[in-house]
Chain A
Amino acid sequence: MYFDYLNVLIFCAVGLGFVFVNLIIASFLRPKRKVTEGLETYECGEEPIGDAWIQFDIRYYTVALVYVIFAVEIAFLFPWAIVLGESFRGTGAAVGTGIGAFALIEGIVFIVILFLGLAYVWAKGDLDWVLSFSGPAYQPPQERARFLPSVHELQELAEARNDEGDGEGDEAEENEEAA
């Protein structure tokens, strides 16, 4: 019976293989040029402003949460509405169970509870885009820990190196020529 699950395993293996094999092949085939544009974040062809390692505003999470709640609500309400409509028309699976009005009230209760939650969030001011905050002002950390230098830092580094001395600048030019 384990062979029933074998196709899952194969699926996973193929999926993983597809990713890594392609990457490996690409690393052999692609030209290697050390230019700063190549290290930049790809943002649909636009020039990126700042880098990706920033803290997103917590407000986006609120939006996401509210979205998830109402998305789930919709997912519940569509089948509910269809079955309810059928039962009132006297067709479908719910015929004979006498559940119609009962289910209608239950659905309303469900929606009311959900809206109570929304009202709560609203009244607590969690939906305001500009939040009032009475504590000390936020102090961004001075030194930001990061895994990689940002593009701007790389550029600054390169410029600094160019400015430092001609000898070193020549070497840098030679390297570029060689590449």
Chain B
Amino acid sequence: MDRYLADLGLIAPELVLTLLSLVVLVWDLVTKGRDSRQVAYLSLAGLGVVAYLLLGQWGDLAATGGKAETVAFGMVTIDAFGTFFKLFTVGSLAVVILFVLADRRERKHGIGEYYFLLLGAGIGVFFMVSTNNLLLLMLGLELLSLASYSLAGFHKSERRSAEASMKYVIFGGLSAGIMLYGISLLYGLTGTIDLNEMGIADGSGWPVGLAAQFAQDPVPVAVAIVLILAGFAYKVSVVPFHFWTPDVYEGAPTPVTTFLAVASKAAGFAVLLRFVGALFLVEGVDSTVAAYGERIGLLIAILAAVTMTLGNLSALRQTSMKRMLAYSSIAHAGYVLMGLAAMTPAGFSAAMFYLAAYYFMNLGAFGFLLYFEGVNKSEDIDALKGMGWKAPVVSIVMVAFLVSLTGLPPTVGFYGKLLLFYEGVDAGLGWLVLIAALNSVVSLFYYFRIAKALFLSEPAEREAEPQPFFTGFLALLGVGTILFGIYTEPLQNWSETGTDSLGIAEASE
């Protein structure tokens, strides 16, 4: 019994988060949703506890090199990689909840489910990023997806929101089906759903490793892996599985869009990195499998190039800022994929660093969008004309976010891109790096349309009411964007520790 309790201690953050979501639900029920802000404060406090537990866990893991411990009969793997993304998720959830509080178009009562669903999505992410077990991974992914479907349609009386939810459900269901099909194929071929065993088991008896399967016939394995990758690609909106992104992002309430664009996407990348890492790059992997991994790397590199190009080119023509940010998030998925395509530990940690950078700049950009939705009652870029002089602090901070999204110094986005480019060159993907650089030029054009509207037009007639707390919070994100662009040490250490715990072998040259 003590052993099980000790095991429970390892998943304490998950347990607290689950408990928190239940308490939130009951609280909302008991108070009959009179004041949902209380629920939000309660959620924030609970997330604080979760973050505290996670930081403690991180400290323990970092001290031991971030190596994995498994609990729940090997279902859950606690390692620095997972904890990195859990911290990321807790951070984004807290910001999203603050955004809900700051959303002027949102009701102040009777929306307790909003917070419950957000926390539920968080639980999904927690389990999906900390497992090597495909079944639990799928469950976590589905929990995240179900919560996201409801959240996207949270304003069910609005046509756009309902439409977004419907599209999301249909695309999501389809891709989940495709992915499950891949998982079942893989299970049938290898006799295990544990990624570690799949990667390194040898051919004698069950479970059969991938190596033995490759030796027998590579085609079914390839089909299975491509199907699973398609499922992940949908989650992180990689071309050609991106069609849902602009519509859903546009229709969903802005805080939900923020959640989808930041937390959900990062979670998708987390499982993608873990999946590819555990199957193809892990220490002791068979050489035929590693060789096949290189081909997967090439496939990912091509997808990355197509994704960033298409995302950026589509973003050029948008007039709605929300839709533009949706396409830009597709483009950023392409950049992150570069790190994955490098297929090296350093490339992985560059991808993680870029996600951390993306946290700051994209949360900031969406916060800015939310701010001006409240002011202008519109998402159009044209509505921002001349507002920079009316709300100077937010607008200047926004310029920092835009500079960072474009990838110019002295911001965290620049440093993230530098790392990605460097690792790309390191992995011999010079052509991809060149495409990414040219894409940055394209992205400059549309990002700076916002700056242009804000500052390079005559001051607007309207006044923006001051929102001091929201402004201060965005300024804080802006400070983070710039600070971590110069003092990169902590984020870099964190992402490296996270990657180390995956046990990926150093590339042999």
Contact = CB atoms under 8 A, between A and B. Distances in A.
Interface of A: 1, 98-102, 113, 116, 119-120, 123-124
Interface of B: 1, 3-5, 22, 25-26, 29, 216-217
B29 A1 contact: no
A123 B4 CA distance: 35
A99 B217 contact: no
A1 B1 contact: no
Contacts of A123: 29
Across the A-B interface, the 9 shortest Cβ-Cβ residue pairs: A102-B4, A123-B29, A102-B1, A98-B1, A120-B29, A101-B1, A116-B22, A120-B25, A113-B22
5 contacts: A1-B216, A98-B1, A99-B4, A100-B1, A119-B29
Q: Which secondary structure dominates where chain B touches chain A?
A: helix
Nearest to A106: B4
A98 B5 CA distance: 12
Contacts of A98: 1, 3-4
Nearest to A102: B4
A116 B4 contact: no
Nearest to B216: A1
A11 B98 CA distance: 56
Contacts of A120: 25, 29
Contacts of A1: 216-217
Given A1-B216, A102-B1, A102-B4, 8 more contacts: A1-B217, A98-B4, A99-B4, A100-B1, A102-B5, A116-B22, A120-B29, A124-B29
Contacts of B22: 113, 116
A124 B26 CA distance: 12
Contacts of B29: 119-120, 123-124
B1, B3, B216: residue with the most chain A Cβ atoms closer than 10 Å:
B1
A99 B1 CA distance: 6
Contacts of A113: 22
A102 B4 CA distance: 8
A116 B26 contact: yes
Nearest to B26: A116
B136 to A, nearest CB: 16
A102 B1 CA distance: 6
Contacts of B25: 116, 120
Contacts of A102: 1, 4-5
A102 B73 CA distance: 14
Contacts of B4: 98-99, 102
Nearest to A103: B4
Nearest to B157: A135
B39 to A, nearest CB: 14
A123 B112 CA distance: 14
Nearest to B25: A120
A39 to B, nearest CB: 34
A45 B288 CA distance: 65
B107 to A, nearest CB: 15
Contacts of A100: 1
A113 B15 CA distance: 13
A99 B4 CA distance: 8
Nearest to A113: B22
A120 B217 CA distance: 52
Which has the most chain A C-beta neighbours within 10 Å: B29, B216, B217? B29
Contacts of A124: 29
A116 B5 CA distance: 24
A113 B25 CA distance: 11
B71 to A, nearest CB: 13
Nearest to A119: B29
A113 B5 CA distance: 20
Most buried by A among B3, B4, B25: B4
A124 B32 CA distance: 9
A146 to B, nearest CB: 23
A162 B141 CA distance: 63
Contacts of B1: 98-102
Contacts of A116: 22, 25-26
A100 B25 CA distance: 30
A29 B361 CA distance: 73
Nearest to B4: A102
Nearest to A116: B22
A47 B37 CA distance: 57
B147 to A, nearest CB: 14
Contacts of B216: 1
A1 B22 CA distance: 49
A101 B26 CA distance: 27
Nearest to A123: B29
A163 B22 CA distance: 68
A113 B257 CA distance: 29
Nearest to B3: A98
A132 to B, nearest CB: 15
A76 B29 CA distance: 28
A113 B217 CA distance: 46
A124 B25 CA distance: 12
Contacts of A99: 1, 4
A79 B29 CA distance: 33
A102 B26 CA distance: 25
Nearest to A100: B1
A119 B216 CA distance: 54
A130 to B, nearest CB: 20
A75 to B, nearest CB: 16
A98 B7 CA distance: 14
A116 B216 CA distance: 51
A104 B213 CA distance: 41
A120 B24 CA distance: 12
A1 B217 CA distance: 9
A124 B477 CA distance: 38
A119 B28 CA distance: 12
Nearest to A112: B22
A67 B5 CA distance: 33
Contacts of B217: 1
A14 B21 CA distance: 50
A76 to B, nearest CB: 14
B153 to A, nearest CB: 16
Identify the interface centre among A100, A116, A119, A120: most chain B CB within 10 Å of its CB: A120
